[in-house]
Chains A and B, each alone.
Chain A
Amino acid sequence: MLIKIAKPSDLHESDVTPESIYLSRRRFMGGIAGLGAGLALSGHVRANADYSDVPEGDAPAWLKEKISETQWRAITPSDPDKDKIAPFDDASGYNNFFEFGTDKGDPARHAGSLETQPWSVVIDGEVNNGGRFALEDFAKPSQFEERIYRLRCVEAWSMVIPWLGIPLADIIKRADPTSKAKYVRFETLVDPEQMRGQRSSFSIIDWPYVEGLRLDEAMHPLTILAMGMYGRELPNQNGAPLRLVVPWKYGFKSIKSIVRISLTEEQPVNSWQKIAADEYGFYANVNPNVDHPRWSQATERRLPNSLFNPNTIDTLMFNGYADEVAELYAGMDLKENY
């Protein structure tokens, strides 16, 4: 169990919803879309009702049970007025998951072919307790938490998404890293039969998709492995059944459909760095002061937007999580280490 230090993004007693507001479900739903401010629920109240409009998935029984025991609203945005949760249809219909095609709608169209049950994850490299684990056994010892995070894509758009998952630190601690472990490397499934994007002979990604974190980044309490969102399991197009979520980094760091987690001594070369090292670095921290060579990162379009209001907002350092994570990079030149 982690010792929790209150962070600005944590909930306070004052956030607890008065009963009258909680009981008025219609207004509550409106609140999610409109003024989530005073409406955030306290951690242990079951929040599935918030997602009554979200289509039910096809989660295995163990996952349903884990989700029902979730610590709801464990982390919420400090300003829910500004950071409104995106509609489920947008979060699950507008994705970059090149294993299923390059159009934003391709993953939703084609990810149905992904078989997520059963699923196993290999933990290897510089660990004492490695091996291949059934996802169920992998997830069971940890408490699910709901984390409402901003997701900032490197393409300069963003959404606010309520994830369900477990701290990556739990998994790493259980794996018991050796003293040599300095980085964590993640790998996505390779299966051209199920993933049509991997069949394209014009793809410039060398499958599998690979991502990496420094060990201290991986151990940071904000870093989670998500298995659900919007009160249900992950839709395939969002990286089912297991994906990384690192909210202060560009979205491409948050690798999807993970099959392998390796602790390494050497810094892994992540896929986008391999493709275009001048455009995508290893760190990929959200940083308004370091532009992508082909577009500005100073602002972002918060989605959903509308035709005549691109909903452009200023991008915040570390995607607004600077208070929590800036210390990880103390003394580092973030222009060099982009």
Chain B
Amino acid sequence: MASPRIWLAWRVGVFLTALAPLLFWSWQVANGAAGPEPGRYLLLNIGIGGLWMLLLTLSLTPLTKLTRWKGFALIRRQLGLWTLAYAILHMLSYALFILGLNWALLGSEIVKRPYIIVGMIALIGLAVLGATSNRWAMKRLGKRWKPLHKFSYAILGLVLLHFFWVVRADMQEWAMYAAIAALIMSTRLPPVARTLPKLRHRLSRT
């Protein structure tokens, strides 16, 4: 059994890894390596980064079932909160760098553009999950905590829809993420979920 110190190092390592892309993109912007529209560069990269965080968060439960490794469960809340952080930064990038804090424009944009509304709903959902991810809220919610946090599945759907509506010409990238999402979600189907521990036994025997 690994010592608590190693688990701490694992969690800090995950934290730094999740932070690294944000630092890298900021560094690119600061050094003029982000193209003629740095705000949009940040917006798009952080958006995709947030999708990655969400997919990683949702892959931890099946990975735990598959491997029984404790480390995956230990970073679930952290990655969930990283998803929220990326989502907030994505929204702030839009407000600051694209709208230029022109709130009047925001009003008319939101009404016209369904993908913004879908993104906002997903963000609000993530914020609710983030706010109820602490121990106190878990205790207060008791048995209702788990069904509440299953809303993350719906949020994944909303995020993919948000992304789908933005695509103009080539669906390849979107299709890739949708396929990964479908794979992760398929592990929640009862027959698949039952198979995962058996698969682990078979893997551990060989």
Contacts and interface: CB of A to CB of B under 8 A. Distances in A.
B144 interface: no
Interface string B86-105: 00000000001111101001
Given A202-B170, A202-B171, A204-B171, A294 B37 contact: no
Given A294-B113, A295-B112, A301-B37, A312 B102 contact: yes
Nearest to A155: B168
B169 interface: yes
Chain A interface residue bracket vs B: 35 or more
A82 interface: no
A98 interface: yes
Among the interface residues B36, B99, B100, B105, which one has the most CB atoms of the partner chain A within 10 A?
A: B36
Given A93-B35, A105-B35, A200 B112 contact: no
Contacts of B97: 307-308, 310
Contacts of A171: none
Contact of B108 (A90, A202, A203, A296): A296
B168 A102 contact: yes
B25 to A, nearest CB: 11
Contacts of A184: none
Interface residues of B, number: 27
A206 to B, nearest CB: 11
Interface of A is mostly: loop
Contact of B112 (A101, A275, A291, A305): A291
A295 B170 contact: no
Contacts of A68: none
Contacts of A304: 36-37
B82 to A, nearest CB: 22
A307 B39 contact: yes
14 contacts: A87-B36, A90-B35, A94-B35, A94-B36, A104-B35, A155-B168, A202-B170, A202-B171, A205-B169, A275-B169, A295-B109, A299-B105, A305-B37, A305-B38
Interface of A: 86-87, 90, 93-94, 98, 101-102, 104-105, 155, 157, 159, 197, 200-205, 275, 291, 293-296, 299, 301, 303-310, 312
User: Closest 9 A-B residue pairs measured CB to CB?
Assistant: A304-B36, A90-B36, A202-B172, A303-B36, A310-B100, A202-B171, A102-B170, A203-B170, A98-B169
